Structure 1
């Protein structure tokens, strides 16, 4: 498929608002950039806010190779109440008075949740079970038990604790403890499940009440932008487009952030651009960004069957002459 050089191409770091799904953000960006070719690199639940990495135009091809980044979250866990979804959107399913808990109790319970752990994902996750999303099975009344999977919790920092009162499983008010944490986790870690497991460890139940992603790989909340809703006028869209366009990260900038870089000479760049295979680079199966003498991304290259080959080659029209 031919690529029009005038089409918007790049990666935008979006600050997803609460209540919007990741798909909603994609729909807004399609309208903003006037293209159907928009995708994201890592879902955020509707209740969550923060960093959502969005690819525009041909840059959507890069997203496949950008998943798997570590992420950082700020979260609030309510101890004393459990829900069927492990977050504030689900019905109360259990819990016990937590008024006896103090900061040291919570800190001690956080210890076993750090490091390399086996985590059972929330049953309302998007994981497929026999071809159907787990959350769809739960909503249809099925009991779903997902298998534990290895994840890494690089850091789980306790920031603050606030005692309070809330409705328990019978509707009665009892003591709860709201806990603010900073979590640095590997891809595939469910912060909702951390909230649930912290509540289980303390014997009072727990669920997530707030979640904000502050980092996804090399992309930080400081560079994230708001995108307008779908039901706005053309004048608002035009203003937003002008404001955001300069911050659309180009392919080379994204590649330098997300991949190991190999500087190549002009001859090698030409060969890679034509899909030619080269002697193995010794870099292994993980993609490496091949950057030409003018600083442009030529291809993502990986060692495959003893040869280095472009697993994703940038079209020539997206590699304009330097200067």
Structure 2
């Protein structure tokens, strides 16, 4: 007999403001308990030191969470000049201290300009990248260093927000896979004194911005109905994809795992599309031919209806 999953069958997306000091999974589990949700997942980790936007997916929304893994992101970061650490942030041990040269906004801006566009980064040892099935940060804590491949990332923009003594704050808009700790370290080296992160906050990921975020404390203060009202519909995760509306017969075929004849217009073969019937989101399909769409990832509730 199948074991029944505990909790409520809640579907939707929560824009959580992750607090400092919790891992992404710890924050996720606290949110899941507040909603009493059967199933939950997030769309990309934030370091425990970092705060800010962590989209949390409940229920069937987890089927589409991978759509955000490739999303561009925006961060606000505070750098401490003159000190480098083992982790590249304030949680590591001090490696080296160097004098900080006289800097003004113009000299920092001149260095930041060198980091705009496509750049190369060496992923840090204190990262979730895996080597032979183990996260690099676990190996780093054992004192091991693994050879990593340099990767190319894009810094769409990085700008100075404030300069206060030997610390300054910047905002960076970056492509997937960009390590802000590494960016901070590299900027520090370019300034001739080294640097590490003392604060990091994510302000945007894909289509989501900090404007709609809620803290765990705010969620704790809500009644159940109010908490539910703050969930976004599942299809916000795939809003960037083209959509097709299907008739009842096509919807039945698709939800039973069969391809259906559909007018796809100018969409190319292998394009992923959102599927709707009577205004209800069914899930994702893929264009299989000039007039054919095959199911790709559909909601269980759609198949049951």
Aligned: 1:210 with 2:199 = yes
Mapping for residues 227-306 of structure 1, pairs under 5 Å: 227-228=216-217, 237=220, 239-256=222-239, 258-278=240-260, 281=264, 282-283=267-268, 285=270, 287-292=272-277, 294-303=278-287
The range that moved more, 63-72 or 274-283, is 274-283
Could you tell me which residue of structure 2 aligns to residue 184 of structure 1?
173
Cα displacement string for residues 168-203 of structure 1 (whole angstroms, at most 9, x for unaligned residues): xxxxxxxxx212111111111111111011011122
Alignment CA distance shift 1:227-1:240 (3 Å)? farther
Cα displacement string for residues 203-222 of structure 1 (whole angstroms, at most 9, x for unaligned residues): 21111111111111111111
Normalising by structure 2, report the TM-score.
0.88
- Structure 1 residue 95 displacement after superposition: 3.5
Higher alpha-carbon deviation: 245-254 or 111-120: 245-254
Count of residues paired in the alignment = 298
**In structure 2, how many angstroms separate the alpha carbons of the residues matched to 1:286 and 1:150?**
26
2:301 is equivalent to residue 310 of structure 1: no
Tell me, what secondary structure is at the counterpart of 1:65? helix
State the distance in 1 between where 2:195 and 2:224 align: 42
Other-structure match for 2:120:
118
Q: Distance in 1 between matches of 2:93 and 2:116?
A: 28
Contact 2:159 2:171 in 1 (8 A): yes
Question: 2:209: which partner in 1?
Answer: 220
Structure 2 unaligned residues grouped into runs of 5+: none
RMSD between aligned residues = 2.7
Q: Could you tell me how far 1:118 is from its partner in structure 2? A: 1.5
Q: What secondary structure is seen at the aligned counterpart in 2 of 1:64?
A: helix
User: What whole-Å deviation, never above 9, does each CA across 1:98-121 have from its counterpart, x for those lacking one?
Assistant: 142222221111122111112111
User: Which residue does the alignment assign to 1:193?
Assistant: 182
What is the Cα deviation at residue 263 of structure 1? 3.1
Residue deviations 1:242-299 (CA, integer Å, cap 9, x gap): 332101112244433x43323333333332222212469544545321122x222112
User: How high is the TM-score relative to the length of structure 1?
Assistant: 0.83
Cα deviation per residue 1:25-49 (whole Å; 9 max; x = unaligned)?
1111221121341110010111111
Q: Following the alignment from structure 1 to structure 2, what is the Cα–Cα distance between the partners of residues 266 and 223?
A: 35
- Counterpart CA distance in 1 for 2:62 and 2:167 is 39
Q: Is the CA contact 1:273–1:299 (under 8 Å) kept in the aligned structure 2? A: no
Which of 129-138 and 9-18 deviates more? 129-138
Q: Distance in 2 between matches of 1:11 and 1:228?
A: 18
Question: What is the CA-CA distance between 1:9 and the residue it aligns to?
Answer: 0.8
| Cα displacement (A) at 1:91 | 0.8
Task: Name the counterpart of 2:56.
Answer: 54
Q: Which deviations, in whole Å up to 9, do the C-alpha atoms of 1:291-312 show, x marking residues without a partner? A: 22x2221121224699632220
Instruction: Give the SS at the match of 1:142.
Output: coil
Question: What SS class does the counterpart of residue 239 from structure 1 fall into?
Answer: coil
5+ unaligned residues in a row in structure 1: which ranges?
164-176, 230-235
